Amino acid sequence: MTMEAEFDWNEAGADKVTAGVDEAGRGPLAGPVVAAAVILNTLYPIDGLADSKTLSAPRREALADKIRAHATAWAMGMASVEEIDRLNILQATLLAMQRAVLGLGITPELVLVDGNRAPQLSCAVRTVVRGDALIKSISAASILAKVTRDAILKKLDGEYPGYGFAVHKGYPTAAHRRALETLGPSAVHRRSFSPVRRLLENK
């Protein structure tokens, strides 16, 4: 069920143990897809929560530290490159979200998921289009997912030099495509994604 943007789940879910869920990394050509689930603590409100894409990297890092310190619960879930290639990116994303919620250690009464597709869970689940901009718990999840995935790609940059992962985080920029053409796909490139698949087919 997709909730209308004007419906305020920040208020409507206030009487329930509510987790916000979001992901980072559906579009890149390399690296895992990462999801986060966050149950915010109403006793410790965090100012400045917003869609992670609208925040600078230093601001995301600062907010991520606050979320980890003050949230009632938070957890990360990932789906590997191999799972993405085997399942497809949508199903791998839903799997990562499911893993994040199951990792909370608390069973939420309601899970609010950014977008229009949600994982299968044993509790009530609602999807919210643009939830990362509208709902604080989803904003928090978007920040943790982005910060975590960026850190993973920075690490992969050291393991697979030359691709520029630390800069573009695996997204299909012109520089990334040139590196792919020169070096060929690495072990962390998604072979099911068409730019990578075409290179492999033309080897």
Residue 129 maps to a domain = yes
Tell me: the pLDDT tens digits for 65-121? Answer: 999 999 999 999 999 999 999 999 999 999 999 999 999 999 999 999 999 999 999
pTM here is 0.92
pLDDT band of residue 16 (cuts 50, 70, 90) is: confident
Find the helix or strand (DSSP H, E) in which 93 lies: helix 89-102
Average pLDDT score over residue span 135-154: 98
Does 44 have pLDDT greater than 80?
Answer: yes
Q: Quick one: pLDDT at residue 201?
A: 87
CATH number at residue 64: 3.30.420.10
Number of folded domains in the chain? 1
Residue 6 maps to a domain = yes
Is 76 in contact with 35 (CB distance < 8 Å)? yes
Residue 14 maps to a domain = yes
Residue 133 maps to a domain = yes
Residue 191 maps to a domain = no
Is 21 in contact with 96 (CB distance < 8 Å)? no
Alpha-carbon gap, residue 165 to 67, rounded angstroms:
26
Q: Quick one: pLDDT at residue 2?
A: 44
φ, ψ of residue 41 to 5 degrees: the values are -100, 115
Q: What is the DSSP letter of 4?
A: P
Residue 167 maps to a domain = no
Average pLDDT score over residue span 168-175: 97
Residue 126 maps to a domain = yes
Q: What is the DSSP letter of 110?
A: E
**Residue 122: which residues within 8 A CB-CB, separation 6 or more?**
107
- Cα→Cα distances 195→26, 27, 34, 136, 191, Å: 15, 12, 21, 35, 8
HSE-CB at 80 with a 13 A cutoff on CA atoms is 5
Determine the structural domain holding residue 79 and report its residue range: 2-155
**Residue 136: which residues within 8 A CB-CB, separation 6 or more?**
10, 20, 40, 46, 49
Residue 195 maps to a domain = no
Nearest 5°: CA angle at 121, between 118 and 126?
45
Q: Quick one: pLDDT at residue 8?
A: 60
Helix 174-183 to helix 194-201 angle (10° resolution) is 20
Sheet hosting strand 18-24, strand order edge to edge: 2-3, 124-128, 110-114, 18-24, 33-39, 73-79
